[in-house]
């Protein structure tokens, strides 16, 4: 094997195994920062030994054993006769290697779950959670995380260091959250994953190649989570939402890099594998039988679109009902706006206009150009051309995107001339 | 990056492929499950043996010529199972491939790893 | 029922040549028909075998041999596949017949193989039970 292939193989093995190793180590040494350091030391050992001895048959076990041995060394050398270290050291010492493998297999889902609850702990800022999760669960290097977020590498490194310190200082236990905190803590995890996905999803084409990777990481993490926390409908809901959104990658951007709206996309380019996976995940959420939360509802809406083989086949009535539900569960002006559009498609523009008129005083909508744009569309459909024209012009003035401006002014002109 | 893992059964030269035996299916099922657990599996399946496959000959556009049952020695003839995975590098795909267990016992001859084309390389 | 349609490689595809615009358009239209009929599961092209790897196991056992492409016998290589979901073998054959001829030289064959039903998502009742058990354990457990 060439040196560069070995290097790339080690990178691949690290990405496949590091999360499990760090999770298991954290359970043993009870500090996520220490666990990562030990895992990193094992990686360094691999980088030194494998080019010479070859990649071992079970690379994951090799790394785990190397990390464990370093943990033992650390506790032996530790001068502090702190009872905690003694206990942990003794515990590590008495186990046989077979026990480790067995313990790893038995507990790994549990440990991974604890790790992701830890990296997404609400005591950390959102950016810290994202960086720490990508690092410890995704196995990404600091460089890769920095590239994805277009920030300097030292900034990410600092963020991660501080995050670990914060967790230690807050004495965050390596436990699953208690039942009464579970919903909130899970919500925090899902938020981080979806943030990652959106960061990758909204990147423009021809840009940073790392950006799609963020989507893939998010999807992968979501799928892993769905296996280790299968009783949570929102987890399946999030996976469903991401799979279905991912299905539109090829159709979202035009030849010259311009974004294409959902209703205008060439549905042949929609990835059916992703759609099927998304629909299956949604089904899993349904089977659990608990009411849908915001992710599952958004996924259900996305599924309606995905099932329509042509735009004209869209089940707008169902989408409108889903938006009604979403407005109850996660109300926001943006949801209201989307609800208005759905209702207008199902029941006519007058219904939509009524809802939108209720939003015009909303402070958060003051600079949101889609509001007058949507209002203009309803007015035009109702034959109120002059008012529609005024709204499109207003919308055009509120957006800085030249292509959008062009489209809006074109619509204004169409109203004026008829 | 998407890769197709094409798992081929060991066959003597000229031998017709047999349906995958229960050991094979169980091993693949468990392996696919691990791929799923790792969040990298997109699709998987086992192909009915080549002897029950059909070949459609192609003439000019749209005109199919003969339809022939039973395949031997043609592309995909000896592929017994496939897994389509989404991973971060070719080396990761290789690492996954070499983790297929019990290859001797179930009779794996070869795993071929093929990278799936991405836009804009398709058309 | 699911089927896989296999298109084999040619010297041209192995050389990395892209299909003609005519063929590309025809394939696009064909996939569109499949999608509209709800039969399309996946349609992918594969990079030439120069990007491929073969991991081969000898009957005697031992570690596999890992070989990088390219591999020589173009006719035994797959260049692309389409997975379809249909209600009968006859329907599958019909779709296979309708596939635009993917071979520039005009000759060649498409192969149709049935797929054993292998669900993509694991409907794992055991996992669900284990998770419910886990949550109950969490609520019962006393915090230190």
Of the candidates A113, A119, A230, A88, the residue with the CA atom closest to the CA atom of residue A175: A113
So what's the pLDDT on residue A86? 58
**C114–B52 CB contact, under 8 Å:** yes
Answer with the one of A302, A328, A351 that is the final residue of a domain.
A302
Asked whether residue A270 is domain-assigned, the answer is yes
Of the residues A23, A206, A223, the best mutation for testing chain B's interface (the one with the most B CB atoms within 10 Å of its CB) is: A223
Answer with the one of A195, A229, A263 that is the final residue of a domain.
A229
Record the tokens describing residue A15, joined without a space.
């990405």
**B58–C64 CB contact, under 8 Å:** no
Asked whether residue B6 is domain-assigned, the answer is yes
Cβ proximity of A12 and A48 under 8 Å:
no
Q: What letter does residue A400 receive in the DSSP assignment?
A: -
Q: Which domains does chain C have, with CATH numbers?
A: 2-140 (3.30.70.1060)
Q: Quote the strand ranges of chain B, DSSP E.
A: 2-9, 41-47, 54-58, 64-69, 79-86, 108-115
A265 plus A204 within the same structural domain: no
Instruction: Select the residue of C83, C108, C121 nearest B58 (Cβ to Cβ).
Output: C108
Answer with the one of A179, A209, A229 that is the final residue of a domain.
A229
pLDDT in tens, A355-410: 999 888 888 888 888 899 999 999 999 999 999 999 999 999 998 878 788 889 99
Asked whether residue A391 is domain-assigned, the answer is no
Determine whether A383 is exposed, middle or buried from the number of CB atoms within 10 Å of its CB (0-12, 13-18, 19+). Answer: exposed
**A219 contact B CB<8A:** yes
So what's the pLDDT on residue C123? 44
ipTM above 0.95, yes or no: no
So what's the pLDDT on residue A104? 54
**B110–C56 CB contact, under 8 Å:** yes
- Domain residues for the domain of B111 are 2-115
pLDDT in tens, C98-138: 999 898 776 788 999 999 865 433 344 444 445 555 545 44
CATH number at residue B62: 3.30.70.1060
**A15–B119 CB contact, under 8 Å:** no
Total domain count, chain A? 3
**B116–C46 CB contact, under 8 Å:** yes
Asked whether residue A267 is domain-assigned, the answer is yes
Grade residue B14 by pLDDT with cuts at 50, 70 and 90: low
- Triad A276, A278, A284: Cα angle to 5°: 105
Asked whether residue A376 is domain-assigned, the answer is no
SS3 of residue B61 by DSSP? coil
Of the candidates B112, B105, B32, B103, the residue with the CA atom closest to the CA atom of residue B78: B112
Number of H helices, E strands in chain B: 3, 6
Asked whether residue A288 is domain-assigned, the answer is yes
**Where is pLDDT greater, at C104 or A195?**
A195
A89 plus A173 within the same structural domain: no
Q: What is the rounded CA–CA span in Å between residue C122 and residue A280?
A: 10
**A222 contact B CB<8A:** yes
A207 plus A264 within the same structural domain: no
So what's the pLDDT on residue B39? 97
Q: Nearest CA of chain C to the CA of A20: how many Å?
A: 18
| pLDDT of B12 above 90 | no
Asked whether residue B61 is domain-assigned, the answer is yes
Grade residue A94 by pLDDT with cuts at 50, 70 and 90: low
Asked whether residue B28 is domain-assigned, the answer is yes
Angle of helix A97-119 relative to helix A126-136, nearest 10 degrees? 160
Angle of helix A179-201 relative to helix A233-246, nearest 10 degrees? 0
Residues 6 or more apart whose CB falls under 8 angstroms from that of A303 comprise A240, A244, A278, A279, A282
Name the C residues in 11-30 with CB < 8 Å from any B CB.
18-19, 24, 26-28
* Mean pLDDT computed over every residue of chain A: 89
Within 8 A of B2 by CB-CB distance, chain C residues are 44
A220 plus A259 within the same structural domain: no
Q: Nearest CA of chain B to the CA of A392: how many Å?
A: 35
- Domain residues for the domain of A280 are 233-302
Asked whether residue A29 is domain-assigned, the answer is yes
Total domain count, chain B? 1
Record the tokens describing residue B20, joined without a space.
């995958």
Neighbours of A16 (CB within 10 A): 21
In a structure prediction context, what are the per-residue pLDDT tens digits for chain C, which is 144 residues long?
Answer: 999 999 999 888 999 988 889 999 999 999 999 998 999 999 999 999 999 999 999 988 888 999 999 998 777 899 999 999 999 999 999 999 999 989 877 678 899 999 986 543 334 444 444 555 554 544 443 334
Q: Which chains touch A (3 or more CB pairs under 8 A)?
A: B, C
Of the candidates A246, A239, A236, A240, the residue with the CA atom closest to the CA atom of residue A270: A246
So what's the pLDDT on residue B29? 93
């Amino acid at each position: 094997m060439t040196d560069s292939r070995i290097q790339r193989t080690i990178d691949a093995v690290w990405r496949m195994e590091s999360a499990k190793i760090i999770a298991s180590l954290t359970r043993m040494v009870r500090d996520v920062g220490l666990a990562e350091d030990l895992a990193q030391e094992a990686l360094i050992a691999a980088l030194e030994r494998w080019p010479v001895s070859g990649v071992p048959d079970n690379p994951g076990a090799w790394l785990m054993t190397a990390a464990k041995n370093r943990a033992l060394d650390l506790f032996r050398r530790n001068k502090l006769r702190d009872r905690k270290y003694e206990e942990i050291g003794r515990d590590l010492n008495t186990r046989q290697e077979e026990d480790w493998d067995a313990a790893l297999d038995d507990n790994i889902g549990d440990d991974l779950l604890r790790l992701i609850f830890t990296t997404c702990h609400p005591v950390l800022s959102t950016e810290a959670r994202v960086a720490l999760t990508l690092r410890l669960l995704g196995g990404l290097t600091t460089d890769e995380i920095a590239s994805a977020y277009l920030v300097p590498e030292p900034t990410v490194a600092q963020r991660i260091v501080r995050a670990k310190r914060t967790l230690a200082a807050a004495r965050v236990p390596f436990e699953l959250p208690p039942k009464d905190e579970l919903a909130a803590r899970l919500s925090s995890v899902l938020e981080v994953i979806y943030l990652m996905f959106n960061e990758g999803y909204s990147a423009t084409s021809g840009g940073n190649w790392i950006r799609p990777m963020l989507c893939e990481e998010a999807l992968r993490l979501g799928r892993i989570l769905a296996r280790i926390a299968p009783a949570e409908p929102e987890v399946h809901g999030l996976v469903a939402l991401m799979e279905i959104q991912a299905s539109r990658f090829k159709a979202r951007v035009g030849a010259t890099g311009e974004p294409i709206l959902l209703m205008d996309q060439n549905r042949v380019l929609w990835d059916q594998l992703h759609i099927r996976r998304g629909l299956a995940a949604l089904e899993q959420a349904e089977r659990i039988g608990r009411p849908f939360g915001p992710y599952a509802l958004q996924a259900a809406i996305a599924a309606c679109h995905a099932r329509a083989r042509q735009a004209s086949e869209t089940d707008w009535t169902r989408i409108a009902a889903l938006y009604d539900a979403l407005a109850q569960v996660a109300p926001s002006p943006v949801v209201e706006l989307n609800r208005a559009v759905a209702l207008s498609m199902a029941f006519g523009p007058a219904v939509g206009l009524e809802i939108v008129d209720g939003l015009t005083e909303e402070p958060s909508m003051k600079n949101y150009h889609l509001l007058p744009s949507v209002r203009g569309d309803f007015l035009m459909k109702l034959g109120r051309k002059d008012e529609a024209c005024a709204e499109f012009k207003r919308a055009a003035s509120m957006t800085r995107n030249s292509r959008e401006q062009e489209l809006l002014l074109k619509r204004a002109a169409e109203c004026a001339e008829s | 990056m998407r890769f197709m893992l094409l798992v081929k059964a060991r066959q003597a030269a000229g031998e017709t492929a047999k349906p995958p035996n229960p050991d094979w299916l169980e091993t693949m099922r468990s392996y696919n499950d691990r791929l799923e657990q790792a969040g990298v599996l997109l699709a998987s399946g086992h192909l009915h043996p080549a002897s029950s496959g059909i070949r459609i000959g192609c003439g000019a556009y749209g005109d199919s010529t003969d339809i022939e049952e039973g395949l031997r020695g043609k592309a995909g003839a000896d592929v017994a199972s496939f897994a389509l995975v989404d991973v971060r590098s070719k080396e990761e795909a290789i690492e996954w491939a070499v983790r297929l267990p019990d290859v001797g016992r179930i009779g794996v001859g070869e795993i071929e790893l093929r990278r799936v084309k991405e836009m804009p390389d398709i058309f | 029922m699911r089927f896989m349609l296999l298109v084999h490689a040619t010297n041209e595809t192995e050389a990395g040549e892209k299909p003609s615009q005519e063929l590309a358009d025809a394939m696009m239209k064909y996939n569109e028909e499949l999608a509209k009929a709800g039969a399309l599961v996946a349609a992918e092209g594969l990079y030439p075998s120069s990007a491929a790897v073969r991991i081969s196991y000898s009957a005697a056992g031992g570690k596999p041999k890992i070989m990088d492409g390219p591999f020589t016998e173009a006719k035994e290589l797959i260049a692309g596949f389409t997975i379809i979901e249909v209600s009968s073998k006859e329907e599958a054959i019909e779709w296979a017949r309708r596939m635009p001829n993917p071979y520039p030289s005009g000759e060649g064959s498409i192969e149709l193989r049935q797929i054993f039903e292998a669900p993509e998502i694991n409907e794992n009742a055991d996992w669900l039970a284990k998770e419910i058990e886990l949550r109950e354990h969490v609520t019962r457990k006393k915090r230190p």
